A and B are shown apart, each in its own frame.
Chain A
């Protein structure tokens, strides 16, 4: 099909409008964080960096930031270990139930967050003595596993089994082969997967709402609590802008480390 110049022009224009639809709201978040107005108004009457300073000094924001980092770091660790184990198990041999396991690992991000959220909340509060920091990490680890798994298994499949066979033929035992052959080849995929898991955990709000112990406030929860308070709008704008900027970092680093078919970051 040879597209006429007119058709191309129309399609390009529609794509540009679509692109604007995707990026304008994010740009507005960034602009609003410098707005001099105390309420959400467009266009801003002036610009200031005052709110960025105030947000950085804000005790609630600071402690929420630290909590988010701690939760994301623990969840990433869990996801790295468990996701890699599943990838190693599923990549090399076919066995009964393999398809079910690959479906099971996707389930926590495929089901609506509220279903996962109240299911875990119910079990944690009814049978395991209530919500704590640990229950939050358990919940986050569950849905972060899939991105590590996807990145690792893509790498393992491309790597093939022959390098490990060669290592075994040269006399290396199972763990030596993992330490000297498999792991070094897997490392950059793990960095990409780990970063994406970190990003996923850092931003999550729905499952977090239902599984965080009392008094545990992550950054998204802080935003959520202050969203409807008009006098907090300028600081919420700054935190929102900061989250946009922070979340862009992992995807670019992951792009650098991941391979072409790992680009989707394990979400698609």
Chain B
């Protein structure tokens, strides 16, 4: 149909690939040259080393940085600790998020649903730093809100440390877990649940055998966010972690004095996330993102 009318149309209409080029040149120059270029330069730097006397980066290929990372006990433990913290955060997000998502999708009336979604989304836009700061005042060992709540029961506040990091990260990324699960639950046809009940399944059985398999991809989609965002975090550990360190803290502390090492450490979360993405690809979760 375009061939008959195209003659009176403009130049750009008749040359769609030129139009495409015109539209994409500036943004692609920006994203590819500045952004991808920087990332590539950083990952390349991970294989360089630093001259001990001058402090200059030496451009010779070496795996020393990665060797140091895995042979130094303190660094190796930090890698393990960071992965454990990210996993705990993901599990906690799931435990807290699942009932909220279920309530939003299956108990609240449709009239309330948009409002509830907005209520879950709003904290996502509140300042990241302020949210971490809020938990600093919550967790404060003797005069914080949690201490105030727990002291009457004779329990001490957990204070700053691994627990503080996990609870704060959970707080930060919880909406990323709730929203995909909510979307998955609303997509699930009610007839499936009725069918399950008609076949004699009680609620627990329906939940295990129908609901869980149906929303599994949504859970995985949510976990990509909670897991990968936790892996790279360092501000949370600084503010509520006490002496506990994560991978991001190592990067932040070493990047001025030893950029190649910092770059090597920074590639780890990226590699772990990529491995995780490849592992979950089979579940079909990436399609529902």
Contacts and interface: CB of A to CB of B under 8 A. Distances in A.
Given A101-B28, A115-B266, A247-B125, A15 B232 contact: no
Interface string B166-203: 00000100111001100000000000011011000001
Contact of B270 (A115, A169, A255): A115
B278 to A, nearest CB: 15
Output the residue of B123, B135, B137 with the most chain A CB within 10 A: B137
A35 to B, nearest CB: 10
A124 to B, nearest CB: 8
A169 B193 CA distance: 51
Contacts, number: 256
B7 to A, nearest CB: 12
Given A29-B134, A85-B24, A112 B229 contact: yes
Nearest to A195: B125
B161 interface: no
B20 A95 contact: yes
Interface size class on chain B is 35 or more
B39 to A, nearest CB: 5
B281 interface: no
Contact of A220 (B30, B127, B231, B262): B127
Given A19-B119, A118-B255, A206-B235, A267 B124 contact: yes
Contact of A174 (B19, B145, B229, B263): B19
Interface residues of A, number: 89
A131 B277 CA distance: 34
B69 interface: no
A126 to B, nearest CB: 8
Binding site secondary structure of chain B: helix
Contacts of A105: 27, 31
A35 B17 CA distance: 62
A141 B266 CA distance: 22
B205 to A, nearest CB: 10
Given A22-B174, A95-B20, A265-B125, A227 B31 contact: no
B206 A1 contact: yes
Contacts of B8: 171
Nearest to A240: B130
A232 B233 CA distance: 25
A26 B234 contact: no
B139 to A, nearest CB: 10
A114 B238 CA distance: 14
Given A199-B125, A264-B179, 4 more contacts: A41-B143, A93-B16, A104-B36, A248-B125
Interface of B: 5, 8-13, 16-17, 19-20, 23-24, 26-28, 30-32, 34-39, 41-42, 45, 96-97, 99-100, 102-104, 106-107, 114, 117-131, 133-138, 140, 143-145, 147-148, 171, 174-176, 179-180, 193-194, 196-197, 203, 206-207, 210-211, 228-229, 231-235, 239, 248, 251-252, 255, 259, 262-263, 266, 269-270
13 contacts: A25-B171, A29-B134, A40-B137, A85-B23, A85-B26, A115-B232, A168-B5, A168-B9, A243-B129, A244-B130, A260-B114, A264-B121, A265-B121
The 9 A-B pairs of least Cβ separation, nearest first, read A112-B232, A15-B103, A14-B99, A173-B10, A174-B12, A25-B134, A89-B23, A1-B193, A41-B143
